[in-house]
Amino acid sequence: MEPKRIGILCTLDTKGEHAGLLKTLIEERGHEAVVLDIGVMGTPPFFPDISRHEIAGAAGVEIRDLVAEGDRGKALAAMSTGAIAVVGKLYGQGSLHGVIGLGGGSGTAIASAAMRALPIGSPKVMVSTMASSGHVAMYVG
Within-domain flag for 1: no
pLDDT at 139 over 60: no
Q: What is the pLDDT of residue 56?
A: 98
Q: What is the pLDDT of residue 136?
A: 56
- In this prediction, residues 42-71 reach a mean pLDDT of 95
> What CATH number is attached to the domain comprising 127?
3.40.50.12020
pLDDT tens, residue by residue, 90-119: 999 999 999 999 998 899 999 999 999 999
Within-domain flag for 4: no
- Angstrom distances, CA of residue 69 to CA of 29, 55, 62, 81: 42, 17, 11, 18
pLDDT at 120 over 80: yes
Name the pTM for this structure: 0.91
Within-domain flag for 134: yes
Number of domains present in the structure of the chain: 1
139 vs 82, more confident: 82
Within-domain flag for 6: no
**Alpha carbon distance 32, 25 (integer Å):** 10
Within-domain flag for 9: no
Average pLDDT along the chain: 92
Give the residue among 101, 98, 102, 88 at the shortest CA–CA distance from 122.
98
pLDDT at 130 over 90: no
**Alpha carbon distance 115, 84 (integer Å):** 8
Can you give the residue range of the structural domain that contains 100?
15-139
Within-domain flag for 75: yes
- In this prediction, residues 122-132 reach a mean pLDDT of 85
Within-domain flag for 8: no
Within-domain flag for 20: yes
Query: What H or E segment, with its residue span, contains residue 127?
Result: strand 124-128
Q: What is the pLDDT of residue 38?
A: 97
pLDDT at 137 over 60: no
**Alpha carbon distance 69, 83 (integer Å):** 20
134 vs 67, more confident: 67
